[in-house]
Amino acid sequence: MIRRVEIPPEVARRFFKDLGAFHAEKDPAKAGAIAARQLQALRQYQGAREKKLRLGDINEMFRQMKNHA
């Protein structure tokens, strides 16, 4: 069962701002830093028993949401 996570609107806005920045960034290191920032932000809203998010999870999320940027 997937638990629905409620995040504050400002965190969600920052996620979508970073989503656009991630796809616009040509430097892989800078794109990685954007993904790392979101990893730290989203981990705060994970439950203790949930599988920990990894940087690869955020990169994949960003890739899947490319058309939503």
Residue 2 belongs to some domain of the structure:
no
Residue 1 lies in a domain: no
Sequence letter at residue 37: R
Identify whether 16 is part of a domain: yes
Mention every residue, 6+ apart, whose C-beta is less than 8 A from residue 43: 52, 53
In a domain, 63, yes or no: yes
Structural domain total, the chain: 1
**pLDDT surpassing 70 at residue 69:** no
The whole model's pTM is what?
0.84
Query: Does some domain include residue 40?
Result: yes
> Is 52 inside any structural domain?
yes
pLDDT of 3 over the 90 cut: no
State how far the Cα of 38 lies from the Cα of 46, in Å rounded to an integer.
13
Residue 24 has a pLDDT of 96
What would the pLDDT profile of 17-59 be if each residue is shown by its tens digit? 999 999 999 999 999 999 999 999 999 988 888 889 999 999 9
Domain-embedded: residue 4: no
Residue 18 belongs to what domain range?
9-68
Give 27-56 as a DSSP string: -HHHHHHHHHHHHHHHHTTS-TTSPPP-HH
